Structure 1
Amino acid sequence: MDDKSLMRAGLLVNPRSGQSSGKGLALADKLRNSSSVSVKVLERFDQLPHFIADMAKDGVTDLFISSGDGTVQAIQTELAEKRPFAKLPRLSLLPHGTTNMTAADLGFRHRSIDAQARFISTLDPEDLQARPTLRAVNPKDGNPRHGMFLGTGAVSEATLFCQRAFNAKGVKGSWATFSTLAGAVGRSLFTPANPADTTRFDRPFSIGIEADGRLISQGQQLLMLATTLEKLILGTKPFWGGTGGAIRTTVIPYPVPSIPRWLIPIMYGSETRKGPPGSASVAASALSISSPVSYVIDGEFFDAPEGEPLRVETGPVFTYVRG
């Protein structure tokens, strides 16, 4: 892809991302008549496989995605599972969606529509970053998924609440996450713990995890998260304990001994930090996870097979164009 004569850009826009902010459509309008750019706008989500196949036929080498995390996850899954391209295209994530956690870590740096249009037209990338996906191997519906962040327990419960309470009302991104986190922390500080209260995020979930065949945790946990990103929403880095595998995985026990004592160290501590007693954080290439509630991968919810653990493995490496 270093020979510019062999490079071609594609722009794929989900106009419903970001509460229909219009940014993606404005960018598509600027590039629609360009002979060097293939432009596709998703009117229906079932068009996605056909649009990606068309871009593969057009010889697209660099795919720019105007969307949020959910659309990025769907595109990564289509590219990795169906393999319509002879060689995976480079991706560039334009943070035009409601939630842009992946783009916050790997996304395109230039925010103005004019700057994005100029870059896509000239296609002269200097800032590239490679990162694998994590692959959920055996969801209940039989469709593997490729994403960058997966969670269960309080993570999936809080994400669902955030989507219903904030995103649907137009509060998005870091503000929605901050509001959800602040509300949960406040409730934990000022009301007694109640494990039977299913309206609370801070309740116990029976979660078991094996990492590369080694038992990491079993029993009552608050949450589990796994990611191939270097930082999560609000710039948090809730993982420690080495980088021996591509999938960073953290388990926080229930109950957390002291929210005021452990919140900041868990979220922003160093690689050598210690978590609360009973917590674990590892880097692995594969996971086996048992959980009583649904999983969330980049904003999409799904279940594991009945009576079986969810298997997660390191997915293919994508190259991200950042500027």
Structure 2
Amino acid sequence: MQKLVKAVQPALIHNPNSRKNAQDSGRFLRMARRKMGDFCVSALNDSHLPAHLRELKSMGVDLIAISGGDGTVSACLTTIANVYYGTSLPAVAILPSGNTNLIAGDVGFGLHGEKAVDRLLRPEGLQSRVRAPIRLSWPDEGRLPVLGMFGGCTGYARAVRIAHSPNVLKFAPHDLAVFFTLFTSMASLLFRRSRHSWMGGDELSWAVNSDTSSRIEINRRSFLFMATALEKLSHGIWPFWNTDPAEKGFRFFDVRSFPKDLPNACFNLLRGQAPEWLRSHGDYVSAVARDMLLETDSEFVLDGEVFQAPASGRIRLEQGPAFRFVYV
């Protein structure tokens, strides 16, 4: 943990389409523009971000607050890394206002509304945490890489598809939307028609070159795969563990198709516990990686954004650049 000790120039990127911002009739944006002037920008969609961030960089901005949900944060981190490439990355403050705010649960700013803007305008003494997002890329295609904090495929991607349906989004409160996807995966097993489809999972093979151990490879069908660069989720849920605390990188969790002892595993992981029997169980794998190559026929979801599987099926997950997230 560090504190800001030098003078910094803050700016705010506001997503007017995020859930909370869309509901306040523009009050927060008007207040922020009155206080911050040209250092407050509203980005109607992600395609506007490069131009906005190039302008902010030219104005000497080295602290960027983001008012939006997880998808907005992911898009901003990706664009910041590109625009500031080769120079020091600005500090980042997360002001959660989206449908899902999982990232803010770990590295959120801690204030909202006018109090948050006033504190950003006098940033000296703010504390900070460092996180390195996951870089998602497609080795065999020309798609540009994206940065994000929480994602997955196979059963996780299926559950997110259900969570994104209009009937669910209407009632999903903020970060609980992500937890809904996990419970959806489990609840589907209660129904005979969907049980075999969900339990059977999707094709998934992956390989990791570990810094502290030998190469790990898995080739099987997967019921559920998730990865995160965060260090905390809401309500104590934590479906990850690390057998070697010295190893650095992002965490991942893979459950093979038709897993045994699934109720007991869920009971423990949804409380943030990983007993020894689970750590040594062949159907459940959790580890840390800096560079991971996946091959799957599943979509991949990163911070709520759904990416279609490439024709080759090959996806790469890497540890991205380190960002400093400030908070009160």
Q: Are residue 117 (structure 1) and residue 114 (structure 2) matched?
A: no
Q: How far apart in 1 are the matches of 2:45 and 2:110?
A: 28
Q: How far apart in 1 are the matches of 2:57 and 2:171?
A: 35
Question: Cα gap change, 1:179/1:297 in structure 2, threshold over 3 Å: closer, same or farther?
Answer: closer
Instruction: Kindly indicate whether the alpha-carbon contact (under 8 Å) linking 2:249 and 2:289 is maintained by their aligned counterparts in 1.
Output: yes
What is the Cα deviation at residue 270 of structure 1?
3.7
Instruction: Kindly indicate whether the alpha-carbon contact (under 8 Å) linking 2:106 and 2:233 is maintained by their aligned counterparts in 1.
Output: yes
Instruction: Kindly indicate whether the alpha-carbon contact (under 8 Å) linking 1:265 and 1:273 is maintained by their aligned counterparts in 2.
Output: no
- Corresponding position of 1:318: 323
Alignment of 1:73-222 (within 5 A): 73-83=74-84, 86-111=87-112, 113-138=113-138, 140-166=141-167, 168-189=169-190, 191=192, 194-195=195-196, 197=197, 201-212=198-209, 214-222=215-223
What is the Cα deviation at residue 27 of structure 1?
3.0
- Corresponding position of 2:257: 254
Q: Deviations over 1:192-239 (max 9, x none)?
A: 7643x4xxx443211111112723421121011111111235442111
Q: Which amino acid aligns with 1:96?
A: S
Aligned-residue identity in percent: 24
Question: Cα gap change, 1:161/1:220 in structure 2, threshold over 3 Å: closer, same or farther?
Answer: same
TM-score (norm 2): 0.87
Q: Are residue 227 (structure 1) and residue 228 (structure 2) matched?
A: yes
Match of 2:291 among 273, 281, 286: 286
Question: Cα gap change, 1:31/1:320 in structure 2, threshold over 3 Å: closer, same or farther?
Answer: same
Q: How far apart in 1 are the matches of 2:27 and 2:322?
A: 30
The DSSP-based 3-state class of the residue aligned with 1:71 is helix
Q: How far apart in 2 are the matches of 1:236 and 1:116?
A: 28
Q: How far apart in 1 are the matches of 2:175 and 2:6?
A: 38
What is the Cα deviation at residue 151 of structure 1?
0.6
Q: Which amino acid aligns with 1:281?
A: S
Q: Which amino acid aligns with 1:267?
A: L
Question: Cα gap change, 1:250/1:263 in structure 2, threshold over 3 Å: closer, same or farther?
Answer: same
Count of residues paired in the alignment: 316
- Corresponding position of 1:296: 301
Question: Cα gap change, 1:300/1:183 in structure 2, threshold over 3 Å: closer, same or farther?
Answer: closer
Q: How far apart in 1 are the matches of 2:230 and 2:259?
A: 25
Q: Which amino acid aligns with 2:98?
A: G
The DSSP-based 3-state class of the residue aligned with 2:13 is strand
Q: How far apart in 2 are the matches of 1:35 and 1:190?
A: 54
Question: Cα gap change, 1:54/1:150 in structure 2, threshold over 3 Å: closer, same or farther?
Answer: same
Q: How far apart in 1 are the matches of 2:95 and 2:133?
A: 18
Q: Deviations over 1:25-60 (max 9, x none)?
A: 433322313357710012343211111111111111
TM-score (norm 1): 0.88
What is the Cα deviation at residue 84 of structure 1?
6.1
Q: Which amino acid aligns with 1:207?
A: L
Alignment of 1:3-42 (within 5 A): 3-4=6-7, 7-18=8-19, 20-22=21-23, 25-34=26-35, 38-42=39-43
Q: How far apart in 1 are the matches of 2:120 and 2:165?
A: 35
Q: How far apart in 2 are the matches of 1:21 and 1:168?
A: 14
Q: Which amino acid aligns with 2:126?
A: E
Question: Cα gap change, 1:159/1:279 in structure 2, threshold over 3 Å: closer, same or farther?
Answer: same
Structure 1: unaligned runs, 5 residues or longer: none
What is the Cα deviation at residue 166 of structure 1?
4.7
Question: Cα gap change, 1:86/1:36 in structure 2, threshold over 3 Å: closer, same or farther?
Answer: farther
Q: How far apart in 1 are the matches of 2:109 and 2:25?
A: 14
What is the Cα deviation at residue 85 of structure 1?
7.9
Instruction: Kindly indicate whether the alpha-carbon contact (under 8 Å) linking 1:56 and 1:85 is maintained by their aligned counterparts in 2.
Output: no
